[in-house]
Structure 1
């Protein structure tokens, strides 16, 4: 019998940790049946914290095809790689992004094995299998499916098939899989996201089971809250065998015991018992650091320049505000900055401090960047030339791209949150307002607050919509506009436009003026980038930065002066020629 990975070996049902977290019980069974070998493979993983909150619980089932002697390898590879690799993906990624990346890579490997083998032109004898995977995270179930294994949900006494069989029937006796892992170079997955409820039961089954056990038998087997799910899975397999199944048989059952409510993921569970630090003075010794000076203090945090006594390097220590230490939302955003910085590898995003240092208080550590903020730089350089602006904007865009590829939105891009170091490298700082897809999924708390600074925020935020990468692009374009003109494209009107009609009435102010040498096509580039409708902006940051440096032909023709202004003589000559031709035509027509 094919066993599951280590987290699920042994046959006993496993419970997720208790508390205000997702709790589930899993049972499973797989049997070769009357066949000489088992081409099915099943497995699941229930991790401990913090991965339980950040990544969830994962189950997977694969079924090899009977015409292939190596499909059992495909099944085992599909399940083990999914369960191993999914939990190795970034905590910042959404479930869908992480799972699809992992399954796409597995599909590519399986397909390449077939292409490099003796049956490269006969996929029915290659490394091919079906796959159904289920990820339970916070209060949501995420389904991924290719092939004819099935996922069911037993809810309120009714059994519902959630997946669609990817099988094409040529006749009542002949059919083939229309979609499977390893069958083609490109993988097309079915995806669903469903709300979890305590008491829900999800069932994964291969065709050797569901074709020989009806819904009534499954419901009766799982009736009652105290059912041993491993025993129930065995009973369902035995029922299928008794009912004449000739195939391999596999079934997985997961019961939702509890769903978190009004809970946010504990990103820093290792710090949850640490006390708040005191206000620090210059030259004070603190947790292995020497405080050099206070950088600034606000109602939101106290920031210090400190010397790390172990590495003899300067770092920035940020301490939570005394007035907001009872606000859990504030503390989560406070800790988020270092959490994100630790997961981004870009020269254009600030870095976190060393992680191996034991902390006795609650604070964050980030690198010290010797330089000045863009706000300070603009005071010293009130009218930067276009090439300098382009260079700064392109570097900011690289930092934003590093965030976006990790499914993170900055959401508070402004001159105060950009720093230019002594070498001229531009870096993004202050990530406390960032939106992380994986963290948002892990939270059941719906926070309604504006994430950034009104003058730089995209219009969709003021309508209560969730931001996208185009929202960050809008903020970058506003920042570009401001650097070139010291103004804003819509003044202060964006924050007041809270309906679609009001946003359509927003009037763009040209960045052009008599004092600056700015090409007209640059104005058109900015106009598009700050369009109130995100669908009418640039789709990618790279498109915007490219058009800032290379004249877009569409904008050139749009901004080109009329012929009368460019060449009056040619205009009047052309008009005279048209009039002459008209007169000749009329004379000929009259005659």
Structure 2
């Protein structure tokens, strides 16, 4: 079982997301070879801490290596271990669907490629794959093959997944979809709302081909009645009991099951959110010569009702821009959340044509962020000065703007406020997109916030 602590260990202020990481699950799993010579199933659960718990969530994966494929056992092991590793390596700004689909597409092509080394396709690397990703107040289901995912809620059992198999007769069937079977992968994906005390059960066919839904429902009902408050240990024992029951009933396949219970969801009252967001104080309006965390103000570049921008120098004499929030919004939780997201987004967009947010390696005493200093003019000013600019010059600027926008889109982020005043042209002719205040981030939009 791949698992990490649920305890939250947030990084420095620049890394923080302005959301609560209070998603909590109790989990258990078990896998046995049963009557087979080897266990071709693979299972894994990963519960990260800190920022990944908020931005990526909790992942549970179950896979069954196809018995007729000689590489089935390797395929299932590869699919589980690699998905649990690679999913968390995708950008934090990506949605669950984008992150998981890109990882699964790469996994499928890899397994399919490995299978091509065999002259007989039946000896390829083929396996089923079923996964749940719990993020904020939703669960995302990914499924291909005939492993199953059930939800037990308010005493009712519901099969969420659909078996991708075709029955030849009462005793024989074959998979119609699986990882590594074809170069093109078709995965079932759906998003469902989550409730506290929901139970999610994942099984391979060695279990559910023998145990009826009635029997599974009866076992889950008894578990909840006997233990209103589940623990990891109880969930693991339940999975072991379920596997043993299938074995006793004559299952001839490997036996694997996972049980996950939702014990807490990240919902907070607006007062709790404000308290969390206001841990860092607003800096006062700064004047030339004043210092904040080693940055000395040399010029006031912009002041408005919503924010201030200063030209500053650090102790080494390097020049930067500092943006601070307006004290007019000191009690506005939505404004503070948006301001914090500006620097968070800026640190994750890496492009020559997007202004760089400077990472801070020390704790900040107030709420602000620092960017590279740009010397030049805005596109609005440039247009005023160049009313009849050559087409070639205009096309060169447009190409750079396009590259900057593409950098946002690669992170599933929309700038949403691209206008001449937010496009800067340096003295070297390099175009930079500035201002992250209106950005829409797909991965963040999946996180519930009051």
Aligned to 2:13: none
| 1:273 and 2:307 are equivalent in the alignment | no
- How many Å separate the matches in 2 of 1:340 and 1:258? 28
Structure 1 residue runs without a partner (length 5+):
8-13, 446-591
Aligned to 2:199: 201
- How many Å separate the matches in 2 of 1:396 and 1:107? 35
Aligned to 2:229: 226
Aligned to 2:257: 251
**Residues 296 and 51 from structure 1, CA distance in 2 versus in 1: closer, same or farther, beyond 3 angstroms?**
same
Q: Tell me by how many angstroms 1:67 deviates.
A: 2.0
**Residues 107 and 417 from structure 1, CA distance in 2 versus in 1: closer, same or farther, beyond 3 angstroms?**
same
Aligned to 1:318: 323
Aligned to 2:405: 400
Q: Tell me by how many angstroms 1:216 deviates.
A: 2.8
Q: Tell me by how many angstroms 1:393 deviates.
A: 2.2
- How many Å separate the matches in 1 of 2:291 and 2:418? 34
In terms of Rg, which structure is larger?
1
| 1:146 and 2:151 are equivalent in the alignment | no
Structure with more strand by fraction: 2
| 1:290 and 2:296 are equivalent in the alignment | yes
Matches within 5 A, 1:87-166: 87-115=88-116, 117=117, 119=118, 121-166=119-164
Q: Tell me by how many angstroms 1:249 deviates.
A: 0.5
- Counterpart contact for 2:8–2:21, Cα < 8 Å: no
**Deviations 1:46-68 (CA, angstroms, capped at 9, x unpaired):** 11122111111110001011123
**Deviations 1:21-57 (CA, angstroms, capped at 9, x unpaired):** 2221111111111111111110111111221111111
Q: Tell me by how many angstroms 1:272 deviates.
A: 6.2
- How many Å separate the matches in 2 of 1:332 and 1:200? 30
Higher relative contact order (CA 8 A, sep 6+): 2
Aligned to 1:469: none
- Counterpart contact for 1:16–1:24, Cα < 8 Å: no
Matches within 5 A, 1:43-54: 43-54=44-55
- How many Å separate the matches in 2 of 1:129 and 1:249? 15
- How many Å separate the matches in 2 of 1:15 and 1:392? 47
**Residues 282 and 107 from structure 1, CA distance in 2 versus in 1: closer, same or farther, beyond 3 angstroms?**
same
| 1:354 and 2:351 are equivalent in the alignment | no
Q: Tell me by how many angstroms 1:114 deviates.
A: 1.7
Aligned to 1:533: none
The aligned length equals 430
- RMSD over aligned Cα atoms: 2.3
- How many Å separate the matches in 2 of 1:338 and 1:321? 16
Using the TM superposition, name which of 15-24 and 83-92 deviates more.
15-24
| 1:39 and 2:36 are equivalent in the alignment | no
| 1:432 and 2:437 are equivalent in the alignment | yes
Give the 3-state SS of the residue equivalent to 1:188 in structure 2.
coil
- How many Å separate the matches in 1 of 2:330 and 2:389? 41
Matching residue within 295, 308, 315 for 1:302? 308
Structure 2 residue runs without a partner (length 5+):
10-19
- How many Å separate the matches in 2 of 1:131 and 1:410? 35
Q: TM-score under structure 1 normalisation?
A: 0.69
- Counterpart contact for 2:277–2:333, Cα < 8 Å: no
Q: TM-score under structure 2 normalisation?
A: 0.90
Q: Tell me by how many angstroms 1:17 deviates.
A: 6.4
